Structure 1
Amino acid sequence: MGLITEVLLLPFAPVRGSFWAVRQALAEAERLYYDPGAVRAELAALEKRLEAGEIDEDEFDSREDELLDRLEIAMQRSTGTGNGTMT
């Protein structure tokens, strides 16, 4: 950006900074959501809940499918074989 553009956009600097902070928070939340270690821990906890009788097979299967999908995406991201839609 040129100097004139920067001067004209100066009143909007707090808004631009807020957007940056939101993007950073979303990126961190996404990183944690797709963390393979966290997903594996959730799978282990889910299996314990099934064994303890806290959930039934249908709920286990449904939740397990969601977690395995997340794990697959996490593995694709770590190897760089994603479809290009994620950063």
Structure 2
Amino acid sequence: MGLLSNILFFPITGPVAGIRWSLNKVLAVAEQELTDDTPIKQDLMELQMQLELGDIDDDEYVAREAVLMQRLREVRAWKERLGQPTAGGPVRVARETDDE
């Protein structure tokens, strides 16, 4: 009976399965784009080269680096939300304690 019902309902279930497959592929590509930090790292390298070549000054470097580092943190946050591994693990900021 299972095969017969699959054959009878194929005009309905076939397109639904195709749409579901397509949406899963779109979701996978979107997640990959959200979590790819390679372009940001390349931008950081280019920024460093511009500083070393004297094309930009220190103030402009610091400002542009802050923007790129914020983008990098956003990518890392997306990776954590999606359950993907992040290099280095979670960032912990050590607090200074008064031992007086």
Length-normalised TM-score, structure 2: 0.45
Length-normalised TM-score, structure 1: 0.49
- Larger helix proportion, structure 1 or 2? 1
The structure number with the bigger radius of gyration is 2
